[in-house]
């Protein structure tokens, strides 16, 4: 089951405020999207799978099943200006024959620029996306008497 437009807009509005939190069930996994401080004047939406984030999910080597919930980032090893200099110095054919010419690194990051981007990604890659039921906290009677 996918989210309706009304549900998505409500969740996006919750993620527009600092420290806003949204809990979802995506393909049977508990996903938490939380707005956290990224730098002095920036906030980013962080993704937590089953309440945690592990650094092993970033590398994508081998592909972790949790990586599908994260933001994929592909970076070339060489900047466009470095590649242009190499093409000029060695010629385009020689540069393209070099095995390092088009090397890229793929990493999976837990942060998103906006709640809309995170929700759009989750709706795209998951078969079912539902709002998680609210947590019910029960207090033990012994705790109440103290």
| Domain annotation covers residue 74 | no
| Domain annotation covers residue 58 | no
CA distance 26 to 126: 6
| Domain annotation covers residue 13 | yes
The pLDDT of residue 45 is above 70: yes
CB atoms within 10 A of CB 70: 23
Q: What is the mean pLDDT of the chain?
A: 89
pLDDT digits (tens, 9 = 90+) for 129-139: 999 998 766 65
CA distance 110 to 53: 8
More confident residue, 1 or 67: 67
| Domain annotation covers residue 69 | no
Phi (first) and psi of residue 123, to 5 degrees: -65, -30
| Domain annotation covers residue 94 | no
| Domain annotation covers residue 115 | yes
The pLDDT of residue 128 is above 60: yes
**Number of domains the chain contains:** 1
Give the distance, in angstroms, between the CA of residue 7 and the centroid of all CA atoms in the same chain: 20
| Domain annotation covers residue 102 | no
Report the percent of the chain where pLDDT is more than 70.
92
Write down the residue that tokens 């000029």 correspond to. 88
The pLDDT of residue 54 is above 60: yes
| Domain annotation covers residue 46 | yes
Domain residues for the domain of 121 are 1-53+110-138
pLDDT digits (tens, 9 = 90+) for 65-117: 899 999 999 999 989 999 889 889 989 888 888 888 888 999 999 999 999 99
């Amino acid at each position: 089951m996918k989210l309706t437009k009304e549900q998505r807009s409500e969740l996006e509005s919750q993620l527009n405020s600092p420290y806003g939190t949204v809990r979802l069930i995506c393909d049977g996994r508990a996903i938490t999207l939380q707005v956290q401080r990224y730098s002095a004047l920036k906030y980013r939406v962080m993704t937590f799978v089953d309440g945690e984030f592990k650094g092993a999910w970033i590398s994508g080597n081998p592909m972790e099943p949790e990586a599908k919930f994260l933001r994929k980032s592909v970076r070339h090893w060489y900047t466009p200006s470095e590649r242009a200099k190499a093409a000029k110095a060695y010629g385009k054919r020689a540069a393209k024959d070099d095995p390092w010419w088009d090397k890229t690194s793929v990493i999976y990051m837990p942060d998103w620029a906006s709640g809309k981007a995170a929700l759009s990604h989750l709706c795209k890659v998951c078969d079912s996306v539902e709002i998680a039921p609210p947590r019910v906290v029960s207090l033990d009677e012994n705790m109440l008497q103290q």
